[in-house]
A = this chain, B = another copy of it.
């Protein structure tokens, strides 16, 4: 059975209230057409896990502007003033996480780890509510894994099995999210036959990808 489906069918997998991981770094490597399809839908109350909320008109930021998001777990919201405005107004819950910790939490969620100890955030408000563990005299925070119901990712070249190559800086959080979500949807810039991607250049194994959209380019 082919993994290639329409944008509409793909977005049907996303239900109100779900937790969604969105690949990309300020929109670079994000699944822009999937985001647009969600934007046009009535889906609401999403929890978004993403590096940032991008821009009001670009990337996952559009969903914030469109009031489809109730909570964001992210490292940076400075490029999307609407995120900050909704947060200050009490309309949106925002959990700010150091970027390396966020990446590692998503990795841990996909790698079956129960958590990890990081020195990042020690002595800051990031400590709040977290267990502190001392190893060899040095303090660390115990950070817990993150998982999502659905990951929507931006792939540069995707083969029909789902193997993904992310070009240049589009990789960022995409391969981590592919590991830690129950359902994985990749938006492809280009779809190729199985075997056309060098096995060393496969950054997300096709076995982890449930659906492929796009490829029109």
Taking Cβ atoms with an 8 Å cutoff, the residues of A that contact B are: 104, 108, 111-119, 133, 135, 138, 140, 142, 144, 165, 167-168, 198-201
Contact = CB atoms under 8 A, between A and B. Distances in A.
6 contacts: A104-B111, A104-B113, A113-B118, A114-B119, A115-B116, A200-B201
Given A200-B201, A201-B201, A117 B119 contact: no
A35 B200 CA distance: 27
Given A135-B144, A201-B201, A116 B119 contact: no
Give the number of times this chain occurs in the complex, counting copies.
Answer: 2
Contacts of A201: 198, 200-201
A111 B103 CA distance: 12
Given A104-B111, A104-B113, A167-B200, 15 more contacts: A108-B116, A112-B118, A112-B119, A113-B116, A113-B117, A113-B140, A114-B118, A114-B135, A115-B117, A115-B135, A115-B140, A133-B142, A198-B201, A200-B201, A201-B201
Contacts of A144: 135
Given A144-B135, A201-B200, A201-B201, A117 B114 contact: yes
A28 to B, nearest CB: 16
A126 B168 CA distance: 41
A63 B169 CA distance: 42
Contacts of A104: 111, 113
B114 A140 contact: yes
Contact of A133 (B111, B114, B138, B140): B114
Contacts of A133: 114-115, 142
A155 to B, nearest CB: 13
A144 B136 CA distance: 10
A117 B111 CA distance: 11
A138 B117 contact: no
A140 to B, nearest CB: 4
A122 to B, nearest CB: 10
